[in-house]
Amino acid sequence: MLRADLLRSEIATTFRRWRTLVLLAVLAGVPVLVGVAVRIQTGRHAGGGGGPAFLAGIAGNGLFLVFTALAVTLPVFLPMAVGVVAGDALAGEAHTGTLRYLLVAPAGRTRLLCAKLVTVVAFCLAGTLVVALSALATGALLFPLGKVTLLSGTSISFGEGLLRALAIAGVVALSLLGVAALGLFVSTLTDSGVAAMATTVGLVLTAQILDGIPQLQAIQPYLFPHYWLSFADLLRDPVYLDGILRNLGLQALYAAVFGSAAWARFTTRDITA
Amino acid sequence: MIETRGLTKTYRGGRPAVDGLDLAVPRGSVFGFLGPNGSGKTTTIRMLMGLIEPTAGTARVLGQPMPGAVRQVLPRVGALIEGPALYGFLSGRDNLRRFDAADPAADPRTRSERVGRALDRVGLAAAAGKKARAYSLGMKQRLGLAAALLQPRELLVLDEPTNGLDPQGMREIRALVRELAADGTTVFLSSHLLDEIEQVCTHAAVMARGRLVTQGPVAGLTAAVLGPGGHGRLAVTTPDPADAVRVLKEHGLTGLRADGDRVTGELPEAPPDGPAPPDPAELNAALVRAGVRVRAFGTQRPSLEDAFVRLTGEGFDVAG
């Protein structure tokens, strides 16, 4: 019973920080921007085509703004926000010196690391939900809602479309696990929160760039962003699980590898800050 | 309470920061831990608190090995290490609630009450709702102390607790330390302020360049370190210093120095089976009989500072 105490404090502390709230506000702003842009565009001339996936569908159905917003934020905004929170998780506490007081409390190193990991995962979920909900609200305000035409051509009811949107948000949140574990590991390496955040965000961008170079096909299946956009397969009928399962497997692998590395490092390092 | 054997810490590629330390802190003592900056005090404290793994040697705190028994030991220990560290975006009270939540042995049902009492104890109750980033250094120091006092502790480890406090705050903290010690808490107090150690500590240890130079009861320490003559110096202020030196020499004083109208000398040690050493009252009478005019007369107790300078030979400069 007492074990949850630290976790509750950790989550409350993280979500009370201005920085966390600003990150969430930025994430909430992206769907609004996309929605307003599409609305202005469709006012001038119908159709258009091109742009990110689902963009064309928004004008016909506001629910498509949820899919679009997640597709737009997943490559950059979401992993950057997660990188900031995860990178700062331990390094930031080391920088301000509060880490030593948590450890002599004694929080326990493994227990503290677990609380940090769960908090970062909670942030992944919160960030994704903020994008999805903001998109849903914007979509409902600016566009009509109704039956959803899937990528495979069949139609489903709005209610089922909503369920699929929820499933997509869940998959997107889980897609961020790799970044979360990577950021937490980087966070155990340094006593500077800023350095850890910058390194994590840098790694996210590097992985994205490498994933875009055709000559590097051999290593691409092992890059954490490689299967990210496979969540679109949830909009097929029947649902196409191959890419999604590969994505989740890869995220689990990253979480296991970098989670263990973070544990090995954090439980043995000297706390000199 | 604290016992180390050959405790050593060598950081990558340097000379040992702490070198073969054998420290013994008795239960119930107020133990002063002295040393110039860079002498290894903080590294020692971090090893005792399980933050740093020793390169060699062992440390036992409350009878259990550290860092192995961190979970059993640290809930009974309050610590202030290298100054306070706070969450600037949280209020003073919420800072304490967070540190308390980190302790698995702390009961959440009594949290508010214990936090309130700790704030009262360090005189921060009025500022408890303010964000910690708006605190002065002295207030941060007090909040750090309050965090160490969230539970009744068997051992308090306080690293420079009066740092950043004004004289009034220093007096309050010293009074608090005495009060805690009177309740039976063992206090391990590091400081570079010798008079602070002298005022509140029963025992002391002196570190220099990573090594333990001496340790023991404070009273014995100065005497032991300064050796014969360590009992005190006689000081006479007189317009006739030359005559005073002559008379005092006849009465067996050594190390006589005349500096202007001030003459000082060491009282001779009483040999176990020899004649008693001269009574200062007799010396004064002798001076007056010899026609030496005395303006002031008295003995000076040797200070811990004398002992410290003798031990480290370096005063309080940073060790290189």
Q: Note whether A223 and A211 are within 8 A (CB).
A: yes
To the nearest whole number, what is the mean pLDDT of chain B? 86
B95-138 pLDDT tens trace? 999 999 999 989 999 999 999 999 999 999 999 999 999 999 88
Cα distance between residue A173 and residue A179, in whole Å? 11
For the cut 60, the answer to whether the pLDDT of residue B320 exceeds it is no
Residue of A nearest to B105 (CA): A2
Does A272 sit within 8 Å of B46, measured CB to CB?
A: yes
> At B51, is the secondary structure helix, strand, or coil?
coil
**Would B247 be classed as within a structural domain?**
yes
More confident residue, B301 or B116: B116
**Would B24 be classed as within a structural domain?**
yes
pLDDT of residue B194: 77
Give me the interface pTM, i.e. the ipTM: 0.88
pLDDT of residue B221: 74
**Would B316 be classed as within a structural domain?**
no
Residues B77 and B181 in one domain: yes
**Would B223 be classed as within a structural domain?**
no
Q: How many CB atoms are closer than 10 A to CB A28? A: 18
Domain's final residue, options B195, B217, B239:
B217
When CB atoms are compared, the residue of B49, B87, B147 closest to A13 is B87
Q: Note whether B207 and B44 are within 8 A (CB).
A: yes
**Would B106 be classed as within a structural domain?**
yes
For the cut 80, the answer to whether the pLDDT of residue B86 exceeds it is yes
Q: Which chain B residues are within 8 Å of A97, Cβ to Cβ?
A: 82-85
Residues B14 and B126 in one domain: yes
The helix (H) or strand (E) run that includes residue A75 is: none
B222-265 pLDDT tens trace? 666 655 445 567 888 999 888 888 888 888 887 788 888 888 88
Pick from B30, B44, B21, B34: which is nearest to B305 by CA?
A: B34
Range of the domain at B24: 2-217
Residues B64 and B191 in one domain: yes
Q: How many domains does chain B have?
A: 2
Which one-letter amino acid corresponds to residue B127?
Answer: A
Residues B138 and B272 in one domain: no
A168-185 pLDDT tens trace? 999 999 999 999 999 999
Percent of chain B with pLDDT over 70: 88
B21 touches chain A (CB under 8 A): no
pLDDT of residue B10: 92
When CB atoms are compared, the residue of A9, A17, A272 closest to B98 is A9
When CB atoms are compared, the residue of B53, B87, B103 closest to A270 is B53
Residue of A nearest to B149 (CA): A105
Residues B16 and B72 in one domain: yes
Average pLDDT over residues A112-132: 96
Residue of A nearest to B86 (CA): A98
Q: Which chain B residues are within 8 Å of A268, Cβ to Cβ?
A: 53
Does B51 sit within 8 Å of A108, measured CB to CB?
A: no
Cα angle B47-B53-B56, degrees, rounded to a multiple of 5: 95
* pLDDT band at residue B83 under the 50/70/90 scheme: confident
When CB atoms are compared, the residue of A3, A16, A271 closest to B104 is A3
**Would B89 be classed as within a structural domain?**
yes
**Would B86 be classed as within a structural domain?**
yes
More confident residue, A47 or A202: A202
Pick from A40, A37, A56: which is nearest to A48 by CA?
A: A56
B175-199 pLDDT tens trace? 888 999 998 999 999 987 777 887 8
Alpha carbon distances (Å) from A149 to A142, A155, B81: 19, 4, 63
Cα angle A145-A147-A151, degrees, rounded to a multiple of 5: 115
Residues B211 and B236 in one domain: no
For the cut 50, the answer to whether the pLDDT of residue B319 exceeds it is no
Does A16 sit within 8 Å of B74, measured CB to CB?
A: no
At A224, give phi and psi (nearest 5°): -60, -25
Residues B172 and B106 in one domain: yes
Cα distance between residue B315 and residue B309, in whole Å? 5
Alpha carbon distances (Å) from B108 to A3, A173, A231, B94: 11, 32, 42, 13
Q: Which chain A residues are within 8 Å of B89, Cβ to Cβ?
A: 16-18
For the cut 70, the answer to whether the pLDDT of residue A203 exceeds it is yes
pLDDT of residue A60: 82
B133 touches chain A (CB under 8 A): no
In terms of phi and psi (left: phi > 0; alpha: psi -120 to 50; beta: otherwise), the region of B131 is beta
Name the packing angle between helices A158-175 and A242-266 (round to 10°): 30
Helix ranges (DSSP H) in chain B: 41-48, 70-73, 92-101, 111-121, 137-148, 167-182, 194-200, 218-226, 241-250, 280-289, 304-312
A36-91 pLDDT tens trace? 998 888 766 554 445 556 777 888 888 999 999 999 999 989 999 999 999 999 99
Cα distance between residue A109 and residue B51, in whole Å? 10
Does B77 sit within 8 Å of A9, measured CB to CB?
A: no
Distance from CA of A6 to the nearest CA of B (A): 5
Mutate to test the interface with B, among A101, A191, A272 (most CBs of B within 10 A): A101
Alpha carbon distances (Å) from B77 to B90, B109, B155: 24, 21, 5
For the cut 50, the answer to whether the pLDDT of residue B43 exceeds it is yes
A16-51 pLDDT tens trace? 999 999 999 999 999 999 999 988 887 665 544 455
Residues B204 and B274 in one domain: no
Alpha carbon distances (Å) from B11 to A221, B5, B7, B43: 41, 19, 13, 10
Q: For chain A, which residues lie within 8 Å of any Cβ of chain B, measuring from their own Cβ?
A: 2-3, 5-6, 8-9, 13, 16-18, 96-98, 100-108, 111-112, 268, 270-272
**Would B273 be classed as within a structural domain?**
yes
Residues B212 and B238 in one domain: no
Question: What is the domain-level CATH number for residue B285?
Answer: 3.30.70.100
Cα distance between residue B175 and residue B173, in whole Å? 5
Q: Token digits for B261?
A: 């109208």
Does B50 sit within 8 Å of A103, measured CB to CB?
A: yes
Interchain CB contacts (distance < 8 Å): A and B: 93
Does A17 sit within 8 Å of B100, measured CB to CB?
A: no
Burial class (CB in 10 A: 0-12, 13-18, 19+), A140: middle
When CB atoms are compared, the residue of A6, A96, A100 closest to B51 is A100
Residues B128 and B199 in one domain: yes
Q: Token digits for A123?
A: 């942030």
Residues B120 and B212 in one domain: yes
Question: What is the domain-level CATH number for residue B35?
Answer: 3.40.50.300
Q: Which chain A residues are within 8 Å of B102, Cβ to Cβ?
A: 6, 9, 101-102, 105-107, 112
For the cut 50, the answer to whether the pLDDT of residue B25 exceeds it is yes
Least confident of A50-54, B35-39, B173-177, B315-319: B315-319
pLDDT of residue A77: 93
Residues B201 and B247 in one domain: no
B99 touches chain A (CB under 8 A): yes
